[in-house]
Amino acid sequence: MTVLDSKVPEGSLEAKWDKHKFDLKLVNPANKRKYSIIVVGTGLAGASAAASLAELGYKVQNFCFQDSPRRAHSIAAQGGINSAKNYPNDNDSIFRLFYDTIKGGDFRAREANVYRLAQVANNIIDQCVAQGVPFARDYGGLLDNRSFGGAQVSRTFYARGQTGQQLLLGAYSALSRQIGEGAVEMFNRREMLELAIIDGKARGIVCRNLVTGEIESYTADAVVLATGGYGNVFYLSTNAMNSNVTAAWRAAKRGAYFANPCFTQIHPTCIPISGDHQSKLTLMSESLRNDGRVWVPAKKGDTRPPAQIPENERDYYLERKYPSFGNLVPRDVASRNAKIVCDEGYGVGSTGQAVYLDFADAIKRMGKDVVAAKYGNLFDMYHHITDENPYEVPMKIYPAIHYTMGGLWVDYNLMSNIPGLFVLGEANFSDHGANRLGASALMQGLADGYFVIPYTIGGYFADAELANVTPDHKVLKGLEKEVTEKANKLLNIKGEKTVDDFHKQLGKIMWDKCGMARNAAGLKEAKEQIPKVRDEFWKNVKVPGNNGEFNQELEKAGRVADFLEFAEVMVIDALQREESCGGHFREEHQTEEGEAKRNDEEYAYVAAWEYKGVGEEPVLHKEPLTFENVKLTQRSYK
């Protein structure tokens, strides 16, 4: 085990980023065009990075597996983006945003990173407005804010219930401009399948052209991964169907450390599962909790329709247990409490795995029109999916996997332990600790892409010695061969079960044993079961078609194969972390009131795992977390 160097600069918290920027060496404008950069992913982090780096003059190649960069899953974020602008004059500040974020993350994030995030958040809003992002405004024409996800100030900027879409389209438009100008070369429908490390540095990637099936190599002076999270390891999540861990995991297999994989976020307000056919879960923005009230019947197994349950026979359990935050407690707390009431038998709906989110009072107070203006598109979506009208009957909700705080380990420059491999957005582990606050993911993705990587990558280039590398380099040729062989191997198994069968099987293990609540016994079972599923997969999966064609099953097979390896590391991480923090709730470690109980003495560190081979125990590296500016407290939302 080594202790990882986060390269956090010296100095006071407030001065670190400015000082660091000054210390970073610059690349002369004329030299910038000599450097090439591969950016994988076109979500908020990827698109903003590709556009910003191209604007600086770097040669950028950008890759996405979708048919267009505009489709990346950032588009589905609904609620909003945080920034400490303090426009509403409610005593917000950069320090308060920093404090809320680090506390919300249950003190498992790096202070300096989180502070920088809070600092650049203001620039993000300015930048997005300049790009023409149509944020909500008041009648004076100024920007509107709302309070969101457990914050006691209104610092969230939003564009109806489609903030992620609008921010992504903003970044996509900046990227499109660079593509149009020839500064970014865009590769759609390409999936990264390998990372090439040459002379110890990340220098290229191997992709599959998803239309033709051709295996292609690309080289550059640095590789930036912005490939999102791994929530689909659970099979059912609010992630898009094609979101996957492959790019990050292949990097991990080439030596990048994977940090805190067990930190996964369960979102409290999702549409419950309707049956075995379920292919994904749909999130309803947690902004709904601003006006909706969460309740279950006070009597177990009460099957009366909600309207017939009188007020005094309802249990508004969040308001009862957390009088000061009420329905606005952080996501992990809200989720766990929903699970508790359902496990105790108070759940509603046909499966008993749901609680009510009721807007009757809000409609009475504000009128249907105001509610519709605020949440109309969410209500419509709910209505489409469930065939129930939320203006008339309370919504039914249940927690679901939504976001993954863990990711590839990066230092303060967002560079992994592999020189030249940078990781941005959800794909890295850096800013959310053990739990992410609402409206912070968009903030982090854009912060990384617009305002961090453009500076830090220059610092890397200024010092790095980079030999000329072309796609016919023997390392890339070797990787191409490996990738092709792996695909052929999958195609030739010709077994009895489909890729989805295995994915569902893995997902169930993960949700049951490594989901909302975990314990040592369950995790050990999972650790035994996963390799068995993996072995069976490689003996009995059926992947139709050929490699040299458009083959969606082959794409899925490769992704599930990686999930089957990655899941084991997640479980190992959850097992070693003998504490509860944020989204990682170990049943053995809870307070008398059932809240997460941290162990700061022993576990205030980042766990970064080094891959050692399939089925081999990964090696743990630690980055100790020191807190000089905040006092570690037990989170309380009472």
> By CB under 8 A, what part of segment 448-467 binds other proteins?
450-451, 454
- According to CB under 8 A, which one of 76, 372, 493, 533 is a site residue for other proteins? 76
Which region among 71-79, 148-156, 224-232, 303-311 touches other proteins (by CB under 8 A)?
A: 71-79
- According to CB under 8 A, which one of 7, 25, 33, 137 is a site residue for other proteins? 137
Compute CA distances 280 → 25, 236, 300, 374, 552, whole Å: 46, 5, 29, 25, 17
Q: Is 548 near other proteins (CB under 8 A)?
A: no
Which region among 60-68, 248-256, 312-320, 532-540 touches other proteins (by CB under 8 A)?
A: 60-68
- According to CB under 8 A, which one of 16, 71, 374, 559 is a site residue for other proteins? 71
- Min dist. Cβ of residue 284 to other proteins (A): 10
- Min dist. Cβ of residue 162 to other proteins (A): 6
- Contacting other proteins within 174-203 (CB under 8 A): 174, 176-177, 179-180, 186, 188
- Copy the structure tokens of residue 412: 């303060």
Which region among 69-77, 364-372, 395-403, 465-473 touches other proteins (by CB under 8 A)?
A: 69-77
Non-local (6+) Cβ contacts of 169 within 8 A are 70, 75, 133
Closest CA to 436 of 168, 114, 11: 114
Which region among 154-162, 216-224, 256-264, 295-303 touches other proteins (by CB under 8 A)?
A: 154-162
- According to CB under 8 A, which one of 142, 307, 464, 614 is a site residue for other proteins? 142
Non-local (6+) Cβ contacts of 274 within 8 A are 386
Closest CA to 408 of 621, 222, 564: 621
- Min dist. Cβ of residue 125 to other proteins (A): 5
Q: Is 156 near other proteins (CB under 8 A)?
A: no
Which region among 103-111, 225-233, 275-283, 317-325 touches other proteins (by CB under 8 A)?
A: 275-283
What is the contact mask toward other proteins in residues 549 to 568, using x (rule: CB under 8 A)? Answer: xx-xx---------------
- According to CB under 8 A, which one of 136, 198, 340, 632 is a site residue for other proteins? 136
- Closer by beta carbon to other proteins, 162 or else 440: 162
Buried b / exposed e along 215-227 (16+ C-beta atoms within 10 A): bbbbbbbbbbbbb
Helix (H) or strand (E) holding 39: strand 36-40
Contact 57, 240 (CB under 8 A): no
Q: Is 439 near other proteins (CB under 8 A)?
A: no
Q: What is the DSSP string of 492-552?
A: HH--SEEHHHHHHHHHHHHHHHHSSSB-HHHHHHHHHHHHHHHHHHHHHEE--S-SSS--H
- Closer by beta carbon to other proteins, 277 or else 631: 277
Neighbours of 191 (CB within 10 A): 23
Q: Is 504 near other proteins (CB under 8 A)?
A: no
Q: Is 345 near other proteins (CB under 8 A)?
A: no
> What whole-number distance in Å separates Cα of residue 254 and Cα of residue 265?
27
- Min dist. Cβ of residue 495 to other proteins (A): 10
Q: In one letter, which amino acid is 446?
A: L
Which region among 136-144, 316-324, 363-371, 425-433 touches other proteins (by CB under 8 A)?
A: 136-144
Closest CA to 221 of 468, 400, 501: 468
Helix (H) or strand (E) holding 567: helix 552-576
- Closer by beta carbon to other proteins, 9 or else 454: 454
Neighbouring C-alpha atoms within 13 Å toward the C-beta of 522: 17
Q: Is 528 near other proteins (CB under 8 A)?
A: no
Compute CA distances 578 → 431, 518, 599, 607, 611, whole Å: 21, 11, 8, 12, 21
> What whole-number distance in Å separates Cα of residue 497 and Cα of residue 506?
13
- Closer by beta carbon to other proteins, 241 or else 619: 241
Q: Is 166 near other proteins (CB under 8 A)?
A: yes
Q: Is 540 near other proteins (CB under 8 A)?
A: no
Contact 543, 519 (CB under 8 A): no
Contact 574, 514 (CB under 8 A): yes
- Closer by beta carbon to other proteins, 278 or else 626: 278
- Closer by beta carbon to other proteins, 176 or else 337: 176
Closest CA to 428 of 445, 403, 408: 408
Q: Locate the DSSP E strands across 87-181.
A: 145-146, 156-157
Non-local (6+) Cβ contacts of 262 within 8 A are 406, 514, 518, 570, 571, 573, 574, 577, 584
Q: Is 384 near other proteins (CB under 8 A)?
A: yes
- Min dist. Cβ of residue 177 to other proteins (A): 4
What is the contact mask toward other proteins in residues 202 to 241, using x (rule: CB under 8 A)? Answer: ---------x--------------------------x-xx
- According to CB under 8 A, which one of 152, 498, 519, 599 is a site residue for other proteins? 498
- Closer by beta carbon to other proteins, 113 or else 176: 176
Q: How many residues bind other proteins (CB under 8 A)?
A: 80
Q: Is 135 near other proteins (CB under 8 A)?
A: yes
Closest CA to 97 of 130, 120, 77, 74: 120
Helix (H) or strand (E) holding 218: strand 215-219
- Closer by beta carbon to other proteins, 293 or else 556: 556
- Min dist. Cβ of residue 30 to other proteins (A): 18
- According to CB under 8 A, which one of 275, 305, 310, 613 is a site residue for other proteins? 275
- Min dist. Cβ of residue 375 to other proteins (A): 15
- Min dist. Cβ of residue 281 to other proteins (A): 9
Closest CA to 412 of 381, 452, 372: 452
Length reported for the chain: 638
Q: Is 30 near other proteins (CB under 8 A)?
A: no
- Copy the structure tokens of residue 602: 């022993």
Catalytic residue among 331, 336, 559, 598: 331
Closest CA to 50 of 65, 31, 69: 69
- Contacting other proteins within 37-56 (CB under 8 A): 48, 51-52, 55
Q: Does the annotation mark 146 as catalytic?
A: no
160 sits in the region (left: phi over 0; alpha: psi -120 to 50; else beta) called: left
- Min dist. Cβ of residue 382 to other proteins (A): 10
- Min dist. Cβ of residue 11 to other proteins (A): 22
> What whole-number distance in Å separates Cα of residue 279 and Cα of residue 82?
31
- Min dist. Cβ of residue 570 to other proteins (A): 23
Residues carrying an active site annotation: 331
